Copies of this chain bind each other. A is one copy, B any other.
Amino acid sequence: MTLYPIASHCSAFICPRAASTSPFGTLRCRITFMTGSGAGRFTMTDEGTGAGLWLIGLGPGDLGMMSADAIERARGCEYRFLEGYTATLPEEEESRLESVVGRWERVMRPMVENPEKILARAKETSVALLVVGDPMQATTHIDLESRCSEQGINFSIIPGISATSLAISVSGMQSYRFGRQVTLPFAYGEYLPTSPLELIDSNFVNNLHTLVLLDLDPTGMGVESPQPMSPSQAVDILQKMFEKMVRNEGFVRESMSDPIGSWDGILLSDLGTREQRVVSGKLEELSTVTGGRIHCLILPALFTGMEREAYERRRPHR
């Protein structure tokens, strides 16, 4: 078993030290916190799971992608909360979550961003916050590390496979050729930022691929169930951003002289679930793809090495 203690007495080194003889071994574990000064150690031997907050990655959808550690640790906790707003599990997986880890309760954004209740409980006993994907690839959970550190609450991360990492893996593109990733937001009323398309263009000009995450939450508030952006909405939003950029700048950038519909793209739908689909093609083709729940797009720069072939192998109608 591997833990990532970041307790207040462990501010400098984040060092899992735990004994386990089998991935499905006993819950008996030894956690050694190494102090920042390197002078002392605090060792805890425990039959179960001690008090603290365990941030546990569920992986991108199919619970079969949970690690052995994640399953064991989630089962061992006294309380389990499912963070329900940065991403959600497919219905079928959510319904079998209890059989995998035990009883759980859903928490939405307000309770995670104002986590007094969760932290008060984590002071007394073991609390798991289950997060779809990897718990630290989202933007909000570093906040929990900080609060736990301030309040002297044990804090540990059990990583999960992130859809962003999986997207790169199954695309066939080379991981070191990706620039900064971009989230494509819904338009809020009349407001549509052009910065996502500018970042995509900046990657392209530097000959880097872009992973484009399609927004899940038209409200931006994280209080309701996500309503993921469809491929046709995404291409439409890119087109509107392009038109606004041209209006703002007064000319068409040379790197964007081809119509957006003719750009190459790789559409990744329902990554890491049984419904996963990977389809490449021109954006005008991809915009006609229907079905699927959650999508992301890769907008490739120039292909190198075996990338062109990988792209062609993912085309439906070559």
Contacts and interface: CB of A to CB of B under 8 A. Distances in A.
A215 interface: no
B313 A149 contact: yes
B169 A137 contact: yes
Instruction: Name the residue in A14, A22, A135, A183 with the highest tally of chain B Cβ atoms < 10 Å from its Cβ.
Output: A14
A274 B68 contact: no
A89 to B, nearest CB: 13
Nearest to A136: B169
A38 B157 contact: no
Given A137-B169, A313-B6, A64 B23 contact: yes
A156 to B, nearest CB: 11
A68 B66 contact: yes
A165 interface: yes
B278 A314 contact: no
A161 B307 CA distance: 22
A176 interface: yes
Contact of A310 (B20, B146, B174): B146
Interface residues of A, number: 90
A18 B272 CA distance: 12
A256 interface: no
Copies of this protein in the assembly total 2
Contacts of A20: 64
A45 to B, nearest CB: 15
Contact of A318 (B11, B17, B18): B11
B16 A145 contact: no
Contact of A314 (B12, B17, B274): B12
Contacts of A1: 64
Interface in A66-119: 66-69, 71-72, 96, 99-100
A40 interface: no
Nearest to A68: B64
A316 B13 contact: yes
A226 to B, nearest CB: 18
Given A13-B316, A276-B4, A65 B67 contact: yes
Given A34-B277, A136-B175, A159-B169, 13 more contacts: A2-B64, A11-B314, A11-B318, A12-B316, A20-B64, A65-B68, A67-B161, A68-B71, A137-B168, A162-B165, A176-B183, A177-B180, A178-B181
19 contacts: A4-B170, A12-B279, A14-B314, A16-B276, A17-B274, A18-B274, A22-B100, A23-B66, A37-B316, A65-B67, A66-B67, A142-B174, A142-B310, A149-B313, A159-B165, A159-B170, A164-B165, A176-B180, A176-B181
